[in-house]
Amino acid sequence: MEKKKALFIDRDGTLIVEPPDTFQVDSLDKLEFLPGVFRNLYDIRKMTDYELVIVSNQDGLGKPQYPEEAFRQVQSFMFRAFKNEGVEFDDVLIDRSKEAENKPTRKPGTAMLTGYMTGEYDLASSYVIGDRITDIELAANLGAKGILIGGREREDEVREAGLEGSCALIAEEWDAIATFLLNPGRKSSYRRKTGETDIFVELEIDGEGKAGIETGLNFFDHMLEQVARHSGCNINIKASGDLHVDEHHTIEDTALALGYVFREALGSKRGIDRYGFVLPMDDSLCLAALDLGGRTWLSWEASFKREKIGDMPAEMIPHFFRSFCEQARCNLHINAKGENEHHKAEAIFKAFARALKMAVRKEPFSGDLPSTKGYL
Ligand SMILES: [Mg+2]
């Protein structure tokens, strides 16, 4: 059975506005919701399977300065408003201690969350959402990831705390949080079936370089495995084509399908590096320069002396890249020379993979589009 996932959501400064002077919402006139919190939490509730858990420090709750009744009034108004908008929470965990008491139940301590740490929950796929660095620390302590509310200036705070690895996103508003949670990994799959070929391609850009390739052409499989391994993308391809005619359609249509899933998985391209280039290797020198800029171009400076390399026609190698560029809508310049034909072909696929790896890399803290045009 698949493990459960949760969003551990802070209250003040995250669901509702935190008063900048007292940090205490102890009456209804101080209650104000964060913009967009209702519709975005509604979407998250409806379109994902995260449990929603409120985790909040309420300093000195129950003491004379912060009476129980004041808290309860705000809390019940808040829950009614969320419920009316279709958002119900699965659990509510409140710590009442003050910072000086150093209680393990107080965030970033995890003592209130032991029920989620028994192995029943996939914490690595769960998130803590909050407006303080202690929320990101809580994420680190849980082995989860944090989402910090705020502008890009908070990147320094995260870096200084050494929490870059635990902070998945810094977002100014709930719209961005929902977009992030509703669009997890950059993945795509595609089946392309014609009278000549039947191709299924699965791509996960942010992968580990794993490949499952079966095209019926051993050398081509070997080259596509290089693309996966050296780009860091996970690529599965099952192709059955009219190899009794020749290799042409199988290689061309695989390239078209692969280009297509790259374009799909890259989505808006926000935050990507866009360009990639590299210069390897051994007896062969290969340059692969790539621009995922949305236009199609292939510049090919390489030639093969042999008609076939393994069971792959040499003329199909440039044709593979031309077809890929056509569907991925990218510019690719390949410049390769060398003595050994197998080596040269492999260098081209590897250099291409490395260029892809660089170009698809996405800056986790950036939603910027690497273009002055406004789209790619
Ligand atoms: Mg807070």
pLDDT at 311: 95
pLDDT at 368: 67
Residues having C-beta closer than 5 Å to ion ligand 1: 10, 12-13, 131
368 is catalytic: no
Longest dimension (CA), the chain: 88
**Confidence (pTM):** 0.57
Q: Answer yes or no: do 351 and 209 share one domain.
A: yes
Choose the catalytic residue: 12, 131, 221, 291.
12
CA of 43 to the centre of ligand 1 (A): 22
Beta strands 50-57 and 91-95 are parallel
CATH of the domain at 205: 3.30.230.40
Q: What tens digit of pLDDT does each residue of 343-373 get?
A: 899 989 999 998 999 898 876 545 567 776 7
Both structure tokens of 356: 């892809």
Residue 369 inside a domain? The answer is: no
The last residue of a domain, from among 137, 154, 182? 182
Q: How far is CA 148 from the centre of its chain?
A: 16
Q: Answer yes or no: do 21 and 145 share one domain.
A: yes
Residue 376 inside a domain? The answer is: no
Q: In whole angstroms, give the CA distance from residue 332 to residue 348.
A: 11
pLDDT at 48: 83
Burial of 255 (0-12, 13-18, 19+ CB in 10 A): buried
Q: What tens digit of pLDDT does each residue of 180-199 get?
A: 888 667 889 999 999 999 99
Q: Count structural domains, the chain.
A: 2
Q: Answer yes or no: do 28 and 126 share one domain.
A: yes
CATH of the domain at 23: 3.40.50.1000
Average pLDDT, the chain: 91
Q: Which residues, 6+ apart, have CB-to-CB distance to 18 below 8 Å? A: 12, 25, 131
Choose the catalytic residue: 10, 26, 95, 291.
10
Burial of 319 (0-12, 13-18, 19+ CB in 10 A): middle
Q: What tens digit of pLDDT does each residue of 160-185 get?
A: 999 999 999 999 999 989 988 886 67
CA of 34 to the centre of ligand 1 (A): 12
Q: Answer yes or no: do 165 and 228 share one domain.
A: no
Q: Answer yes or no: do 217 and 173 share one domain.
A: no
CA of 138 to the centre of ligand 1 (A): 12
12 is catalytic: yes
Does the structure show a pLDDT above 80 at 31? yes
Q: Answer yes or no: do 196 and 339 share one domain.
A: yes
Q: Answer yes or no: do 112 and 238 share one domain.
A: no
pLDDT at 1: 62
Q: Answer yes or no: do 167 and 235 share one domain.
A: no
In the block, which residue shows the tokens 């989860």? Answer: 144
Q: What tens digit of pLDDT does each residue of 252-308 get?
A: 999 999 999 999 888 767 667 777 766 555 666 788 999 988 899 999 999 999 999
Structural domain for 347, as ranges: 187-360
Residue 372 inside a domain? The answer is: no
Count the alpha carbons within 13 Å of 230 in the hemisphere toward its beta carbon: 20
CA of 132 to the centre of ligand 1 (A): 6
Measuring CA to CA, which residue among 207, 211, 172 is closest to residue 36? 172
Average pLDDT (20-39) is: 94
CA of 304 to the centre of ligand 1 (A): 63
Q: What tens digit of pLDDT does each residue of 57-98 get?
A: 999 999 999 999 999 999 999 999 999 999 999 999 999 999
Residue 368 inside a domain? The answer is: no
CA of 98 to the centre of ligand 1 (A): 14
Q: Answer yes or no: do 77 and 191 share one domain.
A: no
pLDDT at 365: 46
Residue 227 inside a domain? The answer is: yes
CA of 287 to the centre of ligand 1 (A): 50
Average pLDDT (339-345) is: 90
Q: Answer yes or no: do 176 and 282 share one domain.
A: no
CA of 151 to the centre of ligand 1 (A): 15
Crossing angle of helices 248-266 and 341-360, in 10° steps, is 20
Other residues' Cβ atoms within 10 Å of the Cβ of residue 5: 17
Q: In whole angstroms, give the CA distance from residue 288 to residue 220.
A: 19
CA of 55 to the centre of ligand 1 (A): 9
Q: Answer yes or no: do 209 and 320 share one domain.
A: yes
Q: In whole angstroms, give the CA distance from residue 50 to residue 127.
A: 9
pLDDT at 362: 75
CA of 370 to the centre of ligand 1 (A): 33
Residue 371 inside a domain? The answer is: no
Q: Answer yes or no: do 194 and 66 share one domain.
A: no
CA of 102 to the centre of ligand 1 (A): 17
Average pLDDT (221-242) is: 94
Residue 248 inside a domain? The answer is: yes
pLDDT at 284: 63
Residue 92 inside a domain? The answer is: yes
